[in-house]
């Protein structure tokens, strides 16, 4: 948590915390059209109940055509 305290102080973003970064990644991952099963596994969810909340949010951002959650293409490159 020391790291997030320092980042909050340096950036002035008070609501910055580990769960915000986790949430942002999850929604961005789904907005990018990635696999729900992989996301569930990465987040460590035992079932889809919690993961579905991210699907709802991703769909809302898609409907609004908001680009705030679009990840850089580097996250979606195939490893060769």
**Chain segment 25-41, per-residue pLDDT in tens:** 888 888 888 889 999 99
DSSP H helical segments within 1-80, as ranges? 2-11, 18-31, 36-43, 48-63
| Interatomic CA distance for residues 20 and 41, integer angstroms | 18
- Check: CB of residue 3 under 8 Å from CB of residue 45: no
**Chain segment 27-79, per-residue pLDDT in tens:** 888 888 888 999 999 999 998 888 988 888 888 877 776 666 565 565 555 55
């Amino acid at each position: 948590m020391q790291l997030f305290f320092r980042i909050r102080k340096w950036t002035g973003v008070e609501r910055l915390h580990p769960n915000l970064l986790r949430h942002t990644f999850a929604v961005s991952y789904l907005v990018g059209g990635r696999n729900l099963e992989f996301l569930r596994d990465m987040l460590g969810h035992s079932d889809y109940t919690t993961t579905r909340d991210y699907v709802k949010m991703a769909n809302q951002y898609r409907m609004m055509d908001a680009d705030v959650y679009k990840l850089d293409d580097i996250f979606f490159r195939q490893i060769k």
